[in-house]
Amino acid sequence: MVARVLIIGGYGNFGSYIAHSLAGDDAIRLLIGGRSVLKAKAFVDTLDASNTAESHAIDIDGELGDALARIAPDIVIHTTGPFQSQDNRVARACIAQGCHYLDLADARTFVATIDQLDADAKAKDVLVVSGASSVPCLTAAVIDAYLPAFARLEAVDYGISAAQHTNRGLATTSAVLSYVGKPMTMLREGAMTTVYGWEDTHVVHYPGLGRRLFGNCDIPDLTLFPRRYPTLKSMRFAAGHELKLLHIGTRMLGLLVRLGIIGSLSNHAENLLKLAFAFDRFGSGRSGFHMFLDGIGHDGNPLKRRFRIIARSGHGPYIPCMPAILLARQLARGSITQRGATPCVDLIDLDSYLAALEGLDITVIRDEVDA
């Protein structure tokens, strides 16, 4: 049986990566959905699909129930952000339709509260997964892989540095800008502490990439992980631009937001995105992810573990897409029996995640000493 997989936002940045990755799977028929059926049709024509792909008009702000009944998907992958300004109406519509649901959400409350739909999803025998992306799927997988080495894991410090040549979209830009200069809480010294988006500027060195700047970012992990890893005393997640000038400029704009001089930078996302594109000549297609873990080993001595991913040739965006790709393939084959609603943790282990990245211009560095 061939599973009908609808990608909402299928011709967008992340949706197109997922579509091209799934197109050759003979267990899947791709359904490319978006507000413009003409754009969906044009994109479908570029796919080398094992099963004839379809184009469909669907608007998440419209009559979702009617649209899903017409399209009749078995699995829905929701890629249309920003999720910071959405509720879970798409997931609820999928549950009502009786189809599985996956999203690439990175919005803290959106992902952390998806389990409120658990009973409804189980009643309809479907799986609802939020945050099928780098956070919290990859980040939890990295911690889980290293956790047995620790008698007590006390701190995690991690972040993502985007490539300047990443095919940035307006939704992703709006999502990031929504918390620049805004208050958020992070676990610091055993207590949830207020910090501000894009502040706490710090430098991380990547082999082959050099020194990259980072600042605070808001993600689901900051709510999920203190409960999941109760020995943690401190957490920090940060993100940054490849180009230091753009990073510092964003930091200065964030200060104006914090002082109340201007409102949310997400209101200016379109103009700021155009400005960022003007600097592409100075950047590259190289991005990075790092996670530094600190705690106490089983011998009672301090223990450190360091993990890095370096992506080149513009392949970085494939990393956040992998959980949705892997889960869609498994659901299409009936190899996942879990039902209910959950953040994307405990579904994909680190080895499976990294194996899916093979063949891309991506290097994984697992070192056991401080770098």
139-162 pLDDT per residue, tens: 999 999 999 999 999 999 999 999
Whether 346 shows a pLDDT value over 50: the answer reads: yes
Which tens digits make up the pLDDT trace of 221-247?
A: 999 999 999 999 999 999 999 999 999
Q: In Å, what is the CA distance from 54 to each residue of 10, 44, 98, 320, 329?
A: 11, 7, 20, 24, 18
Tell me if 316 sits within 8 A of 287, measured CB to CB.
yes
Which tens digits make up the pLDDT trace of 317-338?
A: 999 999 999 999 999 999 999 9
Torsion of CA 86, 258, 272, 139, to 10 degrees: -60
Averaged pLDDT, 110-134: 98
Under the banding of pLDDT at 50, 70 and 90, the label for residue 169 is low
- What is the per-residue pLDDT for 182? 95
Rounded-to-integer distance, Cα 41 and Cα 92, Å? 27
Which tens digits make up the pLDDT trace of 183-230?
A: 999 999 999 999 999 999 999 999 999 999 999 999 999 999 999 999
Averaged pLDDT, 47-62: 95
**Hey, which CATH number is domain 135-316+356-367, 3.30.2320.50, 3.40.309.10, 1.20.140.10, 3.30.360.10?**
3.30.360.10
DSSP letters along 53-88, please? -EEEE--TTS-HHHHHHHH--SEEEE----GGG--S
Tell me if 100 sits within 8 A of 127, measured CB to CB.
yes
As a whole number, the mean pLDDT across the chain is 94
Buried-exposed string 52-67: b where 16+ CB fall within 10 A, e elsewhere: ebbbbbbebeeebeeb
Phi, then psi, of 71 in degrees rounded to 5: -80, -35
Superfamily of domain 3-133+318-348: NAD(P)-binding Rossmann-like Domain (3.40.50.720)
Q: H/E element holding 367? A: strand 362-367
Tell me if 87 sits within 8 A of 64, measured CB to CB.
no
Q: What are the boundaries of each domain within the chain?
A: 3-133+318-348, 135-316+356-367
Rounded-to-integer distance, Cα 198 and Cα 216, Å? 4
Under the banding of pLDDT at 50, 70 and 90, the label for residue 269 is confident
Rounded-to-integer distance, Cα 136 and Cα 111, Å? 9
Averaged pLDDT, 264-290: 88
Under the banding of pLDDT at 50, 70 and 90, the label for residue 371 is very low
DSSP letters along 139-197, please? HHHHHHHHGGGEEEEEEEEEEEE--TTS---HHHHHHHHTTBT-EEEEEETTEEEEEEB
Give pTM, 2 decimals: 0.94
Whether 370 shows a pLDDT value over 50: the answer reads: no
- What is the per-residue pLDDT for 369? 52
Rounded-to-integer distance, Cα 342 and Cα 119, Å? 11
